[in-house]
Amino acid sequence: MTAQLLDGVGLAAQTLSRVSEGVSEFTVSAGRRPCLATVLVGDDPSSHVYVRMKVNRSQKVGIESRRIDLPETTSTSELVAVLDALSVDQTVDGILLQHPVPAHVDERAAFEAIDPGKDVDGVTRTSFAQMAFGEPGFRSATPGGIMRLLDAYDVEIAGASAVVIGRSPILGRPAGMLLLAADATVTFCHSHTRDVAEAVKGADIVIAAVGRPEFVRGEWIKEGAVVVDAGYNEGNIGDVEFEAARERASLITPVPGGVGPMTIAALLDQTLAAATNRTKTE
């Protein structure tokens, strides 16, 4: 068996085409373009690359992009003040705080300064609760993109055994909550899990989000399982031993070209939704 690839590039292109059409319609009806404000703290090279990609994609679909670059020395209170101002700014529809922030900044306090109605990256406690309870709201962009991929390929989630490797508040945990809301039986694995391999071997769906290159070995994968690699490590290497896993899985995401494009597509789709929601309440 050689797994079929979960093509995030193709699905993201379809999503962004639909977003572009929606942005055009919104612009005509509202008399303005949707606006996404991106806040970047510090000089981390990878973060600058990610922000540049998001800004470029925004512009391609017609979304106005407002970029705020803050110095590495920015304090928590200074960052919160910037996010508070964006939250009440009537010309801004969505807010993205690029993470990680510098170690001295309280990232959770910064996330919570974002108005949930503008939380298009799905990082606030409100968004997490909505995901956990299956209520309408903004999903964390990467887990939301993963769910869109699974849906596009008709992966049967209800009743499936799903293993999420990683428990970060913006990836692993919300991914597990979304799977649970879709009626999967979810197991979280993390640094204190005694036998990750054994947990993975019984999984119908595996979400790898641990941040360690090729941590998930191909031999762990159950025959016919669906494997989603949400990791990205130096050298275009994911968290899954790709070639070996592909020989056992039925569906698998490539790295790059799988989860990454869907993250940006989900972010921009939710920015359009945020703009549309705001016009309904004005």
Instruction: Tell how far CA 245 is from the center of its chain.
Output: 23
Task: Pick the catalytic residue from 7, 93, 98, 239.
Answer: 98
Instruction: Let me know if 14 is a catalytic residue.
Output: no
CA distances (Å), origin 74, targets 41, 44, 78 = 7, 14, 6
Q: Which two tokens stand for residue 168?
A: 């970060």
> 238, 256 in Cβ contact below 8 A?
no
Residues 182-209: b if buried by 16+ CB within 10 A, e if exposed: bebebbbbeeeeeebeebbeebbbbbbb
Instruction: Let me know if 118 is a catalytic residue.
Output: no
Beta strands 205-208; 94-97: pairing state:
unpaired
Tallying the residues shown for the chain, one arrives at 282
Task: Pick the catalytic residue from 7, 119, 121, 204.
Answer: 121
Instruction: Let me know if 280 is a catalytic residue.
Output: no
> Cβ contacts of residue 180 below 8 Å, gap of 6+?
132, 186
Question: How far apart are the two ends of the chain, measured CA to CA in Å?
Answer: 54
Task: Pick the catalytic residue from 54, 115, 118, 239.
Answer: 54
Distance CA 94, CA 34 (A): 8
Q: In degrees to the nearest 10, what's the CA dihedral of 273, 52, 41, 264? A: 30
* Catalytic residue numbers, as ranges: 54, 98, 121
